[in-house]
Chain A
Amino acid sequence: MKARVFVTLKPSVFDPQGQTIADALHSMGYTGVGEVRQGKYFELDVSAPSADQAKTLAAEVADKLLANPVIESYRVEVE
């Protein structure tokens, strides 16, 4: 089973990389793009008896390692 984990900075945390990307897009003429937030994306091959258990496992991994709960939050999808 494949689990996808999306890690993003919490809304309260300033993202200088996202800001720089937004500035670049604006200088390229993409005025329709507002704020940009950069995050991380992980694909995990998971062995689990059910999608629910795969999701639980991926969430545990995200909690322990993939995301730092001080500055980041995450979302898990299982296919």
Chain B
Amino acid sequence: MRFAIVVFPGSNCDHDAYHAAEHVLGQDAEFVWHKETSLQGADVVILPGGFSHGDYLRTGAIARFSPIMKCVAAFAREGGPVLGICNGFQILLEAGMLPGAMLRNRDLKFHCEHVRVQVERTDTPFTSLASIGQVLRLPIAHGEGNYYAEPDVVDDLEASGRVVFRYCDERGQITSDANPNGALHNIAGICNESRNVVGLMPHPERACESVLGSADGKLLFESVVGALAVGGQSP
């Protein structure tokens, strides 16, 4: 399985994603510079976390116009699995590949801590091995993770089962206290209509080995490897 990890100027979780795919999962991982115009035969695309273009203007606003994003959009249209992590999620929102936008965290603080999220959907390639209601302990590190969308958009996300991850407490309760940034409906991650494009604010790639404090994030990588092996198709 070939993972393409897109590198923007200012990406800083690209090596974590590479390590998770290449060394923890034992798959092929390749860095793809944002000015490239080919994904080089990738089976999975990861838009990693970081501060692309210094977060100038808005998070992800400039990265979405990078040449590689046309390839990522085409890859996604053909059903290829795309995972946007943190800044990668913000880029997917700016690119219109996922609905909504990110606002500053409600308390204006940069949150760098472990949180818990509940997996609500197992019908995405990145959660195929999870169970519904499973609670994952994952790190977050962001100043702009306060998910916002117009009420009708949020209603549509809920009605169509596209909220994939939701901030919760240790017991899986969806509470305001468990919401680190003020995101609407405790939304931590969503998917597109075809369910192959997933974005989330927490960092699964930084939680793939117990020595790092949690190995819960490995589930996302194992899921996509499993989903592709079962599906046997890549675009």
Contact = CB atoms under 8 A, between A and B. Distances in A.
Contact of A71 (B57, B101, B106, B108): B101
- Bin chain B's interface residue count: 20 to 34
A71 B148 CA distance: 8
Contacts, number: 35
A70 B148 contact: yes
B104 A17 contact: yes
Contact of B148 (A13, A17, A20): A13
Contact of A68 (B62, B99, B101, B105): B101
Interface string A61-77: 00001101011000000
B36 interface: no
Interface residues of A, number: 11
B215 interface: no
Contacts of A66: 57
A71 B61 CA distance: 13
B115 interface: no
5 contacts: A14-B106, A16-B182, A17-B108, A65-B61, A65-B62
A12 B132 CA distance: 33
Residue from A13, A16, A68, A70 with most neighbouring chain B CB atoms (10 Å): A70
A16 B108 contact: yes
Contact of A16 (B104, B149, B150): B104
A20 B108 contact: yes
A12 B148 CA distance: 11
B104 A70 contact: no
Interface in A20-41: 20
Contacts of B100: 70
